[in-house]
Amino acid sequence: MIKKGPCFYLFLSFLIFCLSVKGQNEPQFLVANSSLVSSESRLPFGLWANQDGMIKPGESFLNLTTVSGSVSGAFTNSNFWHYKAGTTLAGALGNDNYFQFNQLYAGVDYKGWALEAGMFYDKMRFGGLSSSNGNLARSRNARPVPKIRISTLAYKPVPGLQNWLFFRFEYDEGFLNDERYVDKAHLHHKSLYLKIVPAEKWTIEMGAEHFVMWGGTSRNAEIGEMPKGLNAYLHYITGRSGGGDFPIYDQQNVAGNQYGTYQLKISKAFDEFSLHFNLSHPFEDLSGVNWRNWPDNLLGLHLDFNDPERLISDVLYEFINTRHQGIVEEYRLDENTGEMKKRPADNYYNNGIYNSGVTYFQMAMSSPLFYPVKITDGISRGFVSNRFYAHHVGGKGRLLTHIYWKAQATYLEHFGTYSNPAHDEEVLFLAKFDYKNPSFPFCLGISLAADLGFNPGDIYGAQLSLSKSW
């Protein structure tokens, strides 16, 4: 029997809200069931990656049921105030049975400014074909973190420059409520983007994403509770070094586990298609901010034909490299010994204090190509390998009148970390077909996936799904 905790009653309240609010759009509901099977004790990459944390990798068989609902509308027929709310529940039967709320959120917006609270998905980008939604630090691989967000709904014009310069931003405060090395840690996030329209049919978008894990209590007794309070918070969110109440590592470096990306997207619209180039450049702490790790990037090219009914509607290619990590022949003075020491390389998405790294419920919040996640004593200890390069391709479209297809392939070569080098080569495949016919009561889907070259052996898997929406 499932224990009826606070989330159950929030879900019940959401259903009542959907049925009672006036002036709303019609509520949207989706029920889906999927059966997944693998030839080994874990599922192939293509069946679990970028699934919002609903599918756990370490399964040979899994039956997953999801129920989703959402509602949106305007308050008192206002043209300015709007609301939205939604939820997604997932229940699975397999080697490890589980039940989880993937989404549970509510939000309001006024003239393009929004306030949201809860767990909610980021927008899918690049046709859903990217290896990490176009951002090395922020994918849709793990469950969404519960948070409060203040943001713009879309780009807004900069006053006085309405014709060619626009901005959008987000400011989040989240809570990492999973089992992790630093218990009850917080996750701060902010982003700022500018969009330039230099000429007709051209747009340039550039910005930065900044994340900080802060606060919480470490399992390391010598560290214990991390600093909190307004003064400490200002150290965290501004990227400054920690004060005297911080661990010595944070005093010498920066406060908390700081990481992020620079983002760039250049788009050109043609008569029958659009072409998008994007770049995602990682930084850790203060290194990488100055592009010392310049070879490390995600570089993508997306061809969008703006018509989902074409045989080929989207094509994407990405090259990802994270092998450099800022290692250079640069020395600095060690104030404790008085000796010159070589500047260490980064260790992407791992951290000495926040030892669980950039994971949530043991899955990467960054690109899922950072894997496998190291599990010790039942909690995440970051990534076994974060130095790799990959070629990733994808495409999708409509194959026949009611059959839609999607395919992805990734060549991946891992090198472990600088402190624990390793070498592994893999080729990852995914092919997905959906039957969508208005005269048929369900959407029927089948996926085939394979990981070739995986140590100790190849992995093959399949997924069969049925879904119904109202």
- Give 3-state DSSP helix, strand, coil % of the chain, rounded to 5: 10, 50, 45
From the CA atom positions of the chain, what is the Rg in Å? Answer: 23
pLDDT class of 457 with cuts at 50, 70, 90? confident
Query: Using an 8 Å Cβ cutoff, are 209 and 191 in contact?
Result: yes
Weakest mean pLDDT among 27-36, 203-212, 450-459: 450-459
Question: In the chain, what percentage of residues exceed pLDDT 90?
Answer: 78
Query: Using an 8 Å Cβ cutoff, are 458 and 451 in contact?
Result: yes
Say which CATH topology domain 6-469 has. Answer: Porin (2.40.160)
| 470 pLDDT higher than 90 | no
Of 26-30, 131-135, 245-249, 438-442, highest mean pLDDT:
131-135
For residues 243-273, one letter each, b for 16 or more C-beta atoms within 10 angstroms of the residue's C-beta and e for the rest, the string is: eeebbeebeebbbbbbbbbbbbbbbeeeeeb
Identify which of 302, 319, 294 has the alpha carbon closest to the alpha carbon of residue 389.
319
Average pLDDT over residues 415-429: 94
Tell me the C-alpha distance between 246 and 249, whole Å: 8
Tell me the C-alpha distance between 24 and 71, whole Å: 7
| 159 pLDDT higher than 50 | yes
What sign has the CA pseudo-torsion 218, 224, 228, 234?
negative
Q: What are the CA-CA distances from residue 115 to residues 80, 245, 408 (Å)?
A: 14, 33, 35
Mean pLDDT score across all residues of the chain: 91
* pLDDT for position 274: 97
Write out the two tokens for 266: 């250049």
Tell me the C-alpha distance between 156 and 159, whole Å: 9
User: How does pLDDT run across 172-226, given as a tens digit for each residue?
Assistant: 999 999 999 999 999 999 999 999 999 999 999 999 999 999 999 999 999 999 9
| 231 pLDDT higher than 60 | yes
Q: Show me where the domains of the chain are located.
A: 6-469
Write out the two tokens for 417: 């970390």
Average pLDDT over residues 337-349: 73
Query: Using an 8 Å Cβ cutoff, are 176 and 213 in contact?
Result: yes
**Which residue in the block uniquely carries the two structure tokens 């070498």?**
423
